[in-house]
Amino acid sequence: MDHPVALSVPIDHVHIDPEGRNRTPDTPVQDHLLRVSIRKHGILEPLQVASDGKGNGYTIIDGERRFRIAKDNGYDRLICVVHPCLSKESREELRMELKMTVKPVQ
């Protein structure tokens, strides 16, 4: 796979990047609002993940909160944009690029 593709992925094949960025914890209000939105509308934006290159699953690049909430709500599959196997540096670069291109919800 050379280009990202959207796939329905079993949630137990998705894992948090242990070497990922140290993100600022969300406030309880932000967490609650996202939980309510996901319960009402589902997950509107796919997670961005990278193949781990070992065939064991996918590492989250963007969407850790959505992943945790989906898991808590009993989701068994997630729509993910799957990127080819990426180095740690490439994952961090993609995270920054995604952060800069995301439009705020109005």
- Chain segment 35-45, per-residue pLDDT in tens: 999 999 999 99
**What residue spans of 7-63 are helical by DSSP H?**
28-41
Regarding beta strands 14-15 and 58-62, do their DSSP bridges make them parallel or antiparallel, or are they unpaired? parallel
Q: Rg of the chain over CA atoms, in angstroms?
A: 14
Amino acid 17: pLDDT: 79
Amino acid 11: pLDDT: 96
HEC letters along 77-101: EEEEEEECCCCHHHHHHHHHHHHHH
Can you give the residue ranges of every domain in the chain?
5-18+29-101
Cβ atoms within 10 Å of 9's Cβ, excluding its own: 18
Q: Which residue has the higher pLDDT, 54 or 104?
A: 54
- Chain segment 33-91, per-residue pLDDT in tens: 999 999 999 999 999 998 877 777 899 988 999 999 999 999 999 999 998 766 777 76
Domain 5-18+29-101 has CATH 3.90.1530.10: yes
Q: How many Å apart are CA 50 and CA 59, to the nearest integer?
A: 5
The owner of tokens 């094949």 is: 13
Amino acid 106: pLDDT: 41
SS3 (DSSP) at 10: strand
Sign of CA dihedral 5, 6, 12, 14: positive
- Write down the pTM of the prediction: 0.78
The candidate with the shortest Cα–Cα distance to 80, out of 64, 56, 100, is: 64
| 24 — pLDDT class (breaks 50, 70, 90) | low
